[in-house]
Amino acid sequence: MTRVDITPVGKPRQTQSDRWKQRPAVMRYRAFADELRLKYREELPCSVRLVFYLPMPKSWSKKKREAMVGQPHQQKPDFDNLAKSVCDALLVEDSVIWKCLVEKYWSDRGGIDIEPLVKT
């Protein structure tokens, strides 16, 4: 298992004009993808478990933050957009992925655990 210290970002739906426009959501995703490629130098396995740790809002009270650490994250970004962002950033052709288990949890700081499910 490899832990990547990075705040996860879901992949936005892109349009043709995103080639020249600089929408904030697309620019945030592109920066995330570049940073992920720099931090994760391994080959992404064909069957993978992705565990996303999403940071809690700073506006939450200390009591709520302590209670929510490690709890399931059940709001946006969606798990499929998070998985898509990792696969698209790390693979030229993501059709090689045949199995993907995705989990997302609240955390003090962002991160992604990438773990092969089947040893090849």
Model pLDDT for residues 4-49, shown as the tens digit of each residue = 999 999 888 877 887 778 888 888 988 999 999 999 988 888 899 9
Dihedral-angle region of residue 15 (phi above 0 means left; psi in -120 to 50 means alpha; beta otherwise): beta
**What residues pair up with 100 in beta bridges, in sequence order?**
48
pTM of this structure: 0.89
Which pLDDT value is given to residue 119? 67
Overall number of domains in the chain? 1
* Domain containing residue 97: CATH number: 3.30.1330
Which pLDDT value is given to residue 52? 97
Domain that holds residue 17: 2-116
- Please calculate the CA angle 60-63-65 and round it to the nearest 5 degrees: 50
